[in-house]
Amino acid sequence: MSGKQPIITLTTDFGTSDYYVSAMKAVIISINRDVTIVDVSHEISPQDIMAGSWVLKNTAFLYPENSIHVCVVDPGVGTKRNPIVLQSNNQFFVGPDNGLFSLVADKEKFKAHIISNPDLIRKKPSATFHGRDIFAPAAAHLAAGTPLEFFGPEIPEIVTYKWAEASCTTESIKGWVLHIDRYGNLITNITSKMIKNLESKNVKIYAGTFIINGVVKTFADVDEGEPVAFIGSSGMLEISINKGNASELLGINKGAPVTVFAKKTD
């Protein structure tokens, strides 16, 4: 990268054994060579919109302002869902309007346009590869300074899901496992703020058939092989096993419920 080249990041579920990712890069470069392309991930689980959204949320805002984040996890490619360009929180996003941007768009303050201008996409776009034919060209044009208005009509709302929201009282929090990382750490949708809001700092955490007492600073605070709960690097409650794979050892998968109870101090 050099100087102030626009940054285009790529997040997809394409894997890297096919030609899909390379095709997107080639199309971007052919339209606009004065960009820096950064691979975020191409290993989002196939068609897992929630996982794509999660990865975006945790990295997009670490990039310089006005970076362009192309995200393609698109089970409905070729159906009626809209391809969009989106501006929110000082970043740009390009991809299908299927919920992928749920965790990155400010619901009160965003600008979204459908991509429909045929001059800004490939001729005769295929029905099944909008990454190459619609999103890559849109990103390249956006990086060249094309305003959102040029892409197509503005839309007042985008599709959003509510995965991230656990339900809380001052006595308990009911959430679930949002993501399992490579080490088997269980990342929940329970935020550090929710835990702070509980009546008592003295908590019990129920996950699967296990009960964990208290939230510590990091997994290294317990013995090797012990389960432990702490606030992870994403700001969410994580359940880990020190030097072990918590998902495998506890038999807990994505979507499993996790409950936090504030213990009465009696």
Cα Rg for the chain, rounded, in angstroms?
21
CB of 181 to a second copy, least distance (A): 5
- Cβ-Cβ contacts under 8 Å for 6 (sequence gap 6 or more): 34, 35, 36, 66, 67, 68, 142, 143
Nearer residue to a second copy within complex by CB, 48 or 199: 48
Nearer residue to a second copy within complex by CB, 67 or 168: 67
CB of 102 to a second copy, least distance (A): 16
SS3 call for 79: coil
Nearer residue to a second copy within complex by CB, 36 or 160: 36
Helix or strand (DSSP H, E) at 139: helix 136-143
Could you give the CA distance from residue 102 to residue 119 in angstroms, rounded to a whole number?
Answer: 28
CB of 147 to a second copy, least distance (A): 24
Nearer residue to a second copy within complex by CB, 168 or 228: 228
CB of 59 to a second copy, least distance (A): 4
**Cβ neighbour number for residue 169 with a 10 Å cutoff:** 11
